[in-house]
Every structure is written in C-alpha cells, then in structure tokens.
Amino acid sequence: MTDAAKTMRFDDLVAAIGPLRPGDLQVWIEEAWVAPLREGAAFHFSEMECARVRLICTLHYEYEIETETMPVILSLLDQLYDTRRRLGALTAAVAAQDIAVRDAVLEAAKMRDAAGTGDAE
C-alpha cells in the first residue's frame, strides 16, 4: 500500500493475497462486491476494500460459498457492519450526555429489554 493514499493497486492486491486470482477479482468488481477507486484503466483499493476482498476470498476459497449466495451474505454483513457503526455512534452520543440523561437512557433500555420490547420495530 502506498503511504500517501493508503491504496493498493489491482496487481499488488492479487500478489498480496495468495489464493486470489485476477479473473475472480475482476468478476467481483463487475458484480459490485468490491468498489475500488478507478483511475483511468487502473483500479486502486482502499484499506477497507482490501479487507473486503480478503473476506470474500475467505468465503469463496475456504468456505466455498457459491457465487449465487455471495450477494446475500455480503448484504447481511454490510447490514451488520452498519448496525455496529450506528450503535457505536449512539453509544458515544449517550456517553457525551450528563449523568442524569445517561442513567435515564440506560434505565429505559433495561425496562424495554425486560419487557421483551428491545427489538427494532
């Protein structure tokens, strides 16, 4: 990866990930499973996209997830990561409140959980 842009070129990514085949990576780009930056004819992968390629490699090569199933799994993982991000933001927002507000929020959450109404509506 380059220090300045923190990106990796297509060929460098293929070389860095043992089982990754260039043709597979090209298909994953075409299927929009990964979204590298495009500079002319060259692809540049951010650190996040490199991690996503590694994940897809694990799912594809090690767990042998079928091509038809991959979009469902990736969509569910994207939803999970988004939920974690949003929960982190909410946690930080609550933590930034004064103690009385934090205590009230925590008490309300406990009551909802105890009543079995903690699920998203």
In this predicted structure, what is the pLDDT of residue 119? 56
Give 68 or 119, the one with higher predicted confidence.
Answer: 68
> Closest by alpha carbon to 51, among 69, 68, 71, 34?
34
Domain boundaries, the chain: 7-65, 72-114
> Closest by alpha carbon to 77, among 56, 57, 91?
56
Quick check: 34 pLDDT over 90? yes
| Own/partner long-range contacts of 29-38 (Cβ < 8 Å, ≥24 apart) | 31/70, 31/71, 33/70, 33/71, 33/74, 36/10, 37/7
The stretch 13-42 carries a mean pLDDT of 96
Residue 14 and residue 19: Cα distance in Å, rounded? Answer: 8
In this predicted structure, what is the pLDDT of residue 2? 43
Q: What are the structure tokens assigned to 31, written together?
A: 């299927």
CA 35 to chain centre: 12
Which ranges constitute the DSSP H helices of 21-60? 22-30, 47-57
Confidence label for 110 from pLDDT (cuts 50, 70 and 90): very high
The stretch 53-81 carries a mean pLDDT of 97
Q: pTM above the 0.85 mark?
A: no
| Mean pLDDT rounded to a whole number for the chain | 92
C-beta separation of 103 from 110 below 8 A? no
The stretch 45-55 carries a mean pLDDT of 97
Quick check: 3 pLDDT over 50? no
